[in-house]
């Protein structure tokens, strides 16, 4: 579940080790979308300030796969976005770590104007007064002091996501076609769909295979189809390049009509696809009918789906017996907005 927390007006300390709370540092500009992806790695995700969300029951290895979360820290407490309030909070907190420490402060999205070097010096002074040795180069523990829109959050860094998307940009793949999805968005979509080890994810309009690559890299078994044999072969080439030797559960692609998939009922855990975009589409005839048919087939083989397009496909999704859980819009450039529908 993803919620938005009210603003904070006092100090809140998180001291119960049995019910640990974490703060996520979100990326991108759409916190609701980032929090939705983060919910694939945690429970009770709530946005508390621009770029920050709190969460419980965090799967640390899953956090490493997130596209729009950069870091997760075990929460010490929350207070107002001033140096004095942050200092007082840390002074009152129970610090249950041992070893060397360092303080890293951020003015998240530059929403507070806080002087981060001053924060680091003041909080570092609190830690040294309490007996900790500071090691700025290779500390055993890193204290994150996060300031955003009137809120300060302190926490011990525990997990960072792996930022290795650059080598998988569409133009760097062995097989490339214009209009291919950026790997950052593709990773978020497959995470939202629940892709992980032991799951099978199907893309019935796989194109160059960008969605399949990201799902395979988080451990899912992936199957892709495309009406064009050239695309199905190209997707297989990309999958072989990025997944072969990863030790994962495998992948397959084939030429097929998305409205008549050669799969049995309930064959997949999730379906994710990027619907053809109007004038750029190679599909002949009724595009609406093709997407509607693909949504119907997706409903037959899986109970979860994420569909992307240059228009909302929510009406067609409901007609295919899907429940629309959430929708998002992602602006690509001035003339293209990607509409995302999460279906269950």
Q: Which CATH architecture has domain 2-160?
A: 2-Layer Sandwich (3.30)
Provide the pLDDT for residue 286.
82
* 251-255 sheet: strands from edge to edge: 251-255, 221-226, 200-203, 270-274, 305-309, 336-343, 324-333
Phi-psi region of 245 (alpha: psi -120 to 50; beta: other; left: phi over 0): left
- The DSSP call for residue 5 is P
pTM for this entry: 0.92
**Check: CATH 3.40.309.10 for 166-343?**
no
Mark the ranges of the chain whose per-residue pLDDT is less than 70.
1-11, 13-19, 245-249, 278-285
- What is the dihedral sign for C-alpha 322, 323, 328, 329? positive
Copy the structure tokens of residue 16. 């119960």
E strand segments, 228-323: 251-255, 270-274, 305-309
- What confidence tens digit (pLDDT) does each residue in 102-137 have? 999 999 999 999 999 999 999 999 999 999 999 999
Reference 110, options 70, 149, 68, 52; nearest CA is: 149
- What confidence tens digit (pLDDT) does each residue in 12-67 have? 766 555 568 999 999 999 999 999 999 999 999 999 999 999 999 999 999 999 99
Q: Give CA–CA dist 310/337, Å, rounded.
A: 6
Q: 234 with 204: CB under 8 angstroms?
A: no
Provide the pLDDT for residue 279.
46
Which run of H or E residues covers position 122? helix 116-129
Q: Tell how strand 69-80 and strand 12-13 pair up.
A: antiparallel
Provide the pLDDT for residue 246.
57
- 210-211-213-215 Cα dihedral, nearest 10 degrees: 170
The residue ranges of every structural domain in the chain are: 2-160, 166-343
Residues 6 or more apart from 339 whose CB is under 8 A from it? 308, 309, 310, 311, 312, 313, 327, 328, 329
């Amino acid at each position: 579940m993803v919620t938005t927390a009210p603003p904070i007006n006092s100090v809140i300390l998180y001291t119960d080790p049995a019910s640990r709370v974490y703060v996520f540092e979100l990326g991108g500009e759409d916190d609701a979308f980032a929090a939705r992806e983060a919910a694939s790695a945690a429970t009770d995700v709530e946005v508390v300030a621009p770029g920050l969300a709190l969460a419980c029951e965090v799967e640390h290895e899953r956090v490493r796969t997130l596209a729009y979360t950069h870091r997760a820290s075990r929460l010490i407490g929350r207070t107002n976005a001033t140096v004095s309030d942050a200092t007082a909070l840390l002074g009152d907190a129970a610090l249950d770590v041992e070893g060397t420490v360092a303080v890293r402060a951020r003015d998240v999205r530059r929403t507070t104007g806080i002087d981060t070097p001053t924060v680091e010096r003041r909080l570092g002074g609190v830690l040294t007064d309490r007996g900790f040795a500071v090691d700025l180069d290779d500390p055993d523990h890193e204290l994150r002091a996060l300031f955003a829109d009137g809120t300060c959050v302190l926490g011990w860094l525990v997990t960072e996501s792996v930022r290795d998307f650059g080598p998988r940009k569409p133009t760097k793949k062995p097989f490339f076609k214009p209009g291919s999805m950026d790997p950052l968005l593709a990773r978020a979509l497959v995470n939202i769909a629940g892709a992980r080890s032991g799951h099978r994810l199907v893309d019935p309009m796989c194109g160059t295979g960008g969605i399949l690559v990201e799902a395979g890299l988080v451990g899912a078994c992936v199957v892709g189809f495309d009406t064009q044999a050239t695309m199905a072969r190209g997707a297989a080439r990309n999958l072989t390049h990025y997944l072969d030797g990863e030790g994962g559960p495998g992948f397959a692609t084939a030429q097929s009509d998305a409205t008549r998939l050669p799969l049995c009922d309930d064959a997949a855990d999730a379906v994710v696809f990027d619907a053809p975009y109007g004038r750029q589409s190679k599909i002949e005839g009724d595009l609406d009918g093709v997407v509607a048919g693909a949504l119907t087939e997706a409903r037959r083989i899986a109970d979860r789906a994420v569909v992307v397009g240059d228009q909302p496909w929510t009406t067609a999704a409901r007609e295919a017996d899907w429940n629309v859980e959430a929708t998002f819009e992602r602006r690509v450039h001035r003339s293209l907005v990607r509409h995302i529908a999460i279906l269950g």
